[in-house]
Amino acid sequence: MAGSSHGHTPAAWTGVSITFIGFCVAGAFMVMAQPVGFWAGIVLVLLGGVVGGAMRAMGLGQPKQTHAVARTAPAATREPAGAES
């Protein structure tokens, strides 16, 4: 994966930012023993995933790459490196 730009897209940044804020909200309200605030934070966490996925569907995410399959002979049919004909 060296040299890839995995995650450096508007969809990724937006989804992770919303999810992180939701995580912080849920954590704070959990410590304060306020269940309604906790569940509001959990809703924000889920909303982050939905928003990130929607933005990716709109073309703001990482484009899908196709990988070329290397075509080599199976190991059983190859000759050893030092074999003479």
Q: How many domains does the chain have?
A: 1
Contact 18, 26 (CB under 8 A): no
Q: Please say if the pLDDT value at position 37 is more than 70.
A: yes
Which of 41, 12, 7 lies closest to 24, judged by CA?
41
State the average pLDDT over residues 54-61.
86
What is the Cα–Cα distance from 47 to 26, expressed in whole angstroms?
13
Q: Please say if the pLDDT value at position 79 is more than 60.
A: yes
Output the pLDDT for position 3: 54
What is the Cα–Cα distance from 32 to 38, expressed in whole angstroms?
9
Output the pLDDT for position 5: 59
Does residue 81 fall inside a structural domain? no
For residue 10, give every residue at least 6 positions away whose Cβ sits within 8 Å of its Cβ, in sequence order, or none.
Answer: 55, 60, 61
- Return the higher-pLDDT residue of 81 and 73: 81
Output the pLDDT for position 18: 95
Does residue 30 fall inside a structural domain? yes
Range(s) of the domain holding residue 21 = 8-57
